[in-house]
Structure 1
Amino acid sequence: MTTRSPRPTRPPPGTTVTATRSDSSARCIPSLADSNPGTGNPKRLRLAAAWLLAASAPVLAAENSGGSPVTDFWRAVTSEEQRVSEQALLAASDDVATLYAWLKEGPAFSPDVETGAWEAERTGADGLIFRYGVVVPDSYDPEVSYPVEFLLHGGVARPEWGPGVDWWRSGYANLQREDRIFVVPAAWREAFWWHDNQADNLPAVLREVKRLYNVDDDRVSMTGISDGGTGAYFFAFKQPSEWASFMPYIGHPGVLRNPAGGVNYRLYFENLTAKPLYIVNGELDRLYPAASLQSFIDVLIEAEVEHVFRVIEGGGHDTRWLPDETPAIERFKTEHPRDPFPDSLQWVTDRDDRYNRNMWLRVDRMASSDFPAVIKVERDGNRFTVEAAAVVGFSLLLSPEEVDFSEPITVSVNGETVYEDLVEQSTETLLRWARETLDRQALFTAELTISLLAE
């Protein structure tokens, strides 16, 4: 539930195949104790253009009628609202291509929305109240898609924030920009940035913003300061799909391995290879001096993770350097939009109930809780080449912008072909993913679910 001021797995249907697991394994870099994702893939652009052209007439028809089914779907919050809006969409068209084009075009965003700074709250599944602030350009234009930047504050070991308490201590005035939307959520001792409840909360807050404003899905970034910087590391390692880039300032990834913080995560550097990092630490920081991160930076280099590491000479545990560094940071964000359908993905996870998805790849079942699941997928047209270890089930989330559904799809795992057939698209899959993410740039119309259990 979300309130605002000043204004108010179920396993999806898919194809399941069974094959014998190979003994081949993929590389996993051990945990640490204390490329620019191109968007100009010509083949993908041709697929997208052909798909959207085929559905262009229905799109125009929907626009001429006001597009209300899509808008109602986008704004639906309760289960009943979602059910009714989905029925209305399917009544307007039950054709996958048409629905895909409508959803990619998105709702009719209203010009009558709050601008400037406002605050809201939502209730999590655990009953906690999560507060957040939003700063919207005064010149907001609903016809323009805006980048969104999440700002995670430090000092999370505090009591719960009450209404009217300023958790972003410098205030919202200095965040007012005409070229982006800022989101400033709150954390406290019951909800550190790296706890499960915040892993659920931040994507939910992003969806709330997307319901109201025209968001550029491929330019949603995360900046964190001190404990917030550690939070940015957490999302980069564990749950990166929504974000284009991460900017951890004066934080430390070793906190994610510290039981005193309520967690002891294993950190897998393969998970960082598609998400660029801009890291800043002060030379004389009393908590996290830059030298204390050098072993972490060495592994980033070894794993070929795209990153910038800026050491502020004489810098302490503060952000006095930020005005001088801002031009370079802004260039970094501009040069690193999210690629929603990269041709190569890898993921390492020690859970299959959460933190098990990277973009269009999801680990559904691990072979054992004793060893992490390791999976790497290369896509070349309709052919998926998979290397997997300690994985007995995974899903490929498919989009008409990445594959040609009129041709067979081939999946090989550890050198053995386990699937070669047509895959049927599903309106149910499309609507479910659109509802769960409100991500117009990463819509999926099919899930190909692969089981590697021996018969």
Structure 2
Amino acid sequence: MLGLAAVVAACGAGPAFAGPSGDGALDAAVAAFWAASTDDEIAAATAAVLATDPGIEAIWGRLRAGRAYARDVPTGRRLLARENRDGVEHGYVLRVPEGYDPAARYPVIVYLHGGVSRPKREDGTWWRREERLARDDAIVVAPASWDESLWWQDSQIENLAGLLDDLKRVYNVDENRVHLIGISDGATGAFYHAMKATTPWATFLPLNGHPVVLANPASDVDGAMHVTNLRNKPLFVVNGGRDPLYPVASVLPFMRLFQQAGVFLDFRPQPEAGHDVSWWDDEKPAMDAFMREQARRPLPSRLSWETERTDRYNRAHWLVITELGAVAGEPDLDAHNTVLDQTSGLPLGINMIGQMVDGSGLRVLEVGPDSMASAAGMVNEDTIVEVAGTAAPTVEDLRQALIGFAPGQRIPMVVQRGGERIDVMLDYPAEAAPRGRQAFPHTLAPGRVELDQQRNTVTAYTRGVRRFTLLISPEQFDFTQPISVVVNGVTAFDGMVEPDVATLLRWAATDQDRTAMYGAELHIEVPPAP
């Protein structure tokens, strides 16, 4: 198999610079910088740019413009491979639209396959019916995972990041429309990357997976899972009601936990589906719309990130956690790490429903005994005609009303029985709450930072973090004015920040991202709170 580096070589010394003109030496140095791929090449190219002694304005515009992409690049389906730093080769299938236009920025959709406990395959057959993944409007990538490089391990964080960098060097990628879809084990992988390596991704679409796999010591997961890290990106989740591995009933407690933690979640249970994609054609338009509507914000004004280490897993966009440890007076931020055991407590009791043909509501086919529904007075064959003020409810309306239903809450409903409309109140008694259990094990004490940026003021709340670094972009902050950072109610920094060309080049080389570049680093020590 051949890697994309060979394509760069075949197209010439590297893509020409596509930015402001007027300084030939700087233009040539920036072109070489964008063409560099190895650590040594990047170091040499960075030194060459710095040797021209450019001002921040001159270099910024050139980096922001990015590469000039060649038209004569390979399209269609290709079987390729790339090497991680340890020399292990990771194969992938690349599909580039035949009508690829280098002047347009293309979304990228990365598909993670299931069945990763098998030995390594090198023939590109790791995704069934792969031909249906091909698109005219996006670049599609189907990388490989196997029993020695699982989706939920460091090797795949490195692999996927490197793969995206390789793509950006050859094809005009829309950095803010890079989506990660996974099925079965691949879905578990999507949950993993959302919690450990969020920065490059716009959305995550886990299909037929289960987060609980990441809590199992036998899964050989690298790192600990932190639910609040999911706040940073939207999730589109599908599970089958008859799935023998990960049925909706077992996944739902995690979906409720995620929603309570403030995660943007579109959960779409398929009641009759097993561990299959029988629903694919019905849900594909919704998945496409989700990806189309949910572009990544490269410089989000709000971030929440938690990590148990600072040598990896410690960055989300412009936040880097650099030292862990408790600080006096820090707030007790909720870990959101408890799922409820739905086999305990009082059951809902709306066990089986059907949509009325005339669209008037939902027919209750079975009400469970000793349940919330039976306590509310509901009986078999009632028709739910209103849920929480929504008339003629659909299954989706009922699902949305119930997904966050918690002890101590009530949902008003109206049912029709024998031609009579009857008000009922679905009551979740506080004393009937199911028992809780830990969602994910934490063997190391983690630290978390929550940021809210408004103009040149950053408000942060921390737990278990002594130091963190903010990457400052002039597209997010005004460098001509002081920047203020308030941590746990105490001002930790208030002053001017000077842009630095070396910092700009270092992060540009790291991220390969024209839409998120950083001109300065601001190192913050968390002060004790009074």
Give the structure-2-normalised TM-score.
Answer: 0.72
Q: What code does the residue aligned with 2:250 have?
A: S
Alignment of 1:65-104 (within 5 A): 68-91=28-51, 94-104=54-64
Q: Which residue of 2 aligns with 1:287?
A: 245
Aligned to 2:292: 334
> Equivalents in 2 of 1:424, 1:281: separation in Å?
50
Residue number in structure 2 paired with 1:157: 117
2:95 and 2:27 map into 1 onto residues whose CA distance is 28
2:330 is matched with none
Pick closer, same or farther for the CA change 1:263–1:143 going to 2, 3 Å.
same
| Separation in structure 1 between the aligned mates of residue 179 and residue 250 of structure 2, nearest angstrom | 25
Equivalent residue in structure 1 for 2:69, among 101, 109, 116:
109
Displacement after TM superposition at 1:415 (Å): 1.2
Task: Report deviation, 1:6.
Answer: 9.2
Mapped contact 2:92–2:124 kept (Cα < 8 A): no
Amino acid at match of 1:3: G
Instruction: State the Cα distance separating 1:352 from its structure 2 match.
Output: 1.3
Once the two structures are TM-superposed, the CA of residue 324 in structure 1 deviates from its matched residue by: 1.1
Find out whether 1:372 has 2:446 as its counterpart.
yes
Residues 370 and 329 of structure 1: CA distance in aligned 2, closer, same or farther (over 3 Å): closer
Distance (Å, rounded) in 2 between the aligned partners of 1:383 and 1:330: 36
Query: What residue in structure 2 maps to residue 450 of structure 1?
Result: 524
2:475 corresponds, among 396, 401, 414, to 401
Query: Helix, strand or coil: the match of 2:479?
Result: coil
- Is the Cα–Cα contact under 8 Å of residues 237 and 268 in structure 2 kept in the other structure? yes
Q: CA deviation at 1:176?
A: 2.4
- 8 Å Cα contact 2:4/2:170 also seen in 1: no
Q: Mean Cα displacement is larger for which, 301-310 or 222-231?
A: 301-310
Q: Distance in 1 between matches of 2:2 and 2:512?
A: 16
Q: Which amino acid aligns with 2:175?
A: D
Cross-structure match for 2:217: 259
Change (3 A) 1:370 1:256: closer
Q: Give, in whole Å, the separation in 1 of the partners of 2:241 and 2:83.
A: 40
Residue identity matched to 1:207:
D
For 1:60 and 1:4, the matched residues in 2 are separated by 28
Q: 1:168 — aligned with what?
A: 127
Seen in structure 2, the aligned counterparts of structure 1 residues 165 and 343 have a Cα distance that, compared at 3 Å, is closer
Where do 1:74-223 residues align within 5 Å? 74-91=34-51, 94-162=54-122, 164-171=123-130, 173-223=131-181
Moved over 4 A (4+): 4-8, 62-68
SS of equivalent residue, structure 2 residue 94: strand
Aligned pair count reads 403
Show the counterpart of 1:226: 184
Q: Give distance in 2, aligned partners of 1:429 and 1:121.
A: 31
Q: Contact 1:71–1:108 (CA<8 Å) still a contact in 2?
A: no
Deviations 1:80-116 (A, max 9, x none): 3223322443455611122121111111111111101
Q: Is the 8 A contact 2:448 2:463 kept in 1?
A: yes
Contact kept? 1:246, 1:277, Cα under 8 Å: yes
- Provide the rounded CA distance (Å) in 2 between the counterparts of 1:205 and 1:89: 25
| Secondary structure of 2:3's aligned partner | strand
CA–CA distance in 2 between the matches of 1:75 and 1:2?
18
Separation of aligned partners in 2, 1:299 and 1:453? 31
Offset, 1:67: 5.0
**Corresponding residue for residue 484 of structure 2:** 410
Task: Output the CA distance in 1 between the equivalents of 2:500 and 2:178.
Answer: 28
**Farther off after superposition, 237-246 or 412-421:** 412-421
CA–CA separation in structure 1 for the residues paired with 2:481 and 2:495: 8
2-structure distance, mates of 1:150, 1:105: 25
Deviation of the 1:138 alpha carbon: 0.5
- Contiguous gaps of at least 5 residues in structure 2: 9-17, 327-442
State whether residues 105 and 440 of structure 1, in contact with CA within 8 Å, keep that contact through their aligned partners in structure 2: yes
CA distance in 2, matches of 1:280, 1:407: 47
Greater RCO between the two (CA within 8 Å, min separation 6)?
Answer: 1
